Amino acid sequence: MTSPARTCWDLACWLDVIEAVVVIDAMLARRLTTVPVLREYALSRAGRRGWRSLLRAVDLADAGAESPQESRTRVRLVLAGLPRPQTQWVVAEQGRFVARLDLAWPQFKVAVEYDGLWHDDVEQIHRDRRRLNRLLGGD
């Protein structure tokens, strides 16, 4: 058995950065560890194999991710050169909730949603379409 920080270290050493971030995001979301704790863990082991890999993964991590698919999409976009998005961005119109978006760049009015049947819920695709219609003003 290892601590959450040691587990993240091992993941960063053995997995590619995207898959390491997927697990670190989930651990952060569940409050099993924090970004400062993971950074300190890596920096206290500077020079050892894996410390830079852990720092890189932690810098890409986001506790707001709600699924592995969201994490993978976000990290790929950032590694491709896009600015880091806001996770779980709430869109409201005149104080009324419209939608919560997986990834958003509100300053550009751009968002990315990871929709589909991966939720293991056949109705999810319909809810996703209704949300898109609300966002586009065609409710």
Which structure tokens are listed for 139?
Answer: 């409710």
Beta carbons of 67 and 30 less than 8 angstroms apart = no
- Measured between alpha carbons, how far is 64 from 101 in angstroms, rounded to an integer? 11
pLDDT tens digit sequence for 81-134: 999 999 999 988 888 888 889 999 999 989 998 866 555 677 767 777 777 767
- Measured between alpha carbons, how far is 102 from 86 in angstroms, rounded to an integer? 8
Which pLDDT value is given to residue 119?
56
pLDDT tens digit sequence for 7-63: 999 999 999 999 999 999 999 999 999 999 999 999 999 999 889 999 999 999 999
Q: What is the 3-state secondary structure (H, E, C) of the chain?
A: CCCHHHHHHHHHHHCCHHHHHHHHHHHHHCCCCCHHHHHHHHHCCCCCCCHHHHHHHHHHCCCCCCCHHHHHHHHHHHHCCCCCCEEEEEEEECCEEEEEEEEEEHHHCEEECCCCHHHCCCCHHHHHHHHHHHHHCCC
Sequence-separated (6 or more) residues with CB below 8 Å from residue 114? 67, 69, 70, 73, 102
- Measured between alpha carbons, how far is 73 from 77 in angstroms, rounded to an integer? 6
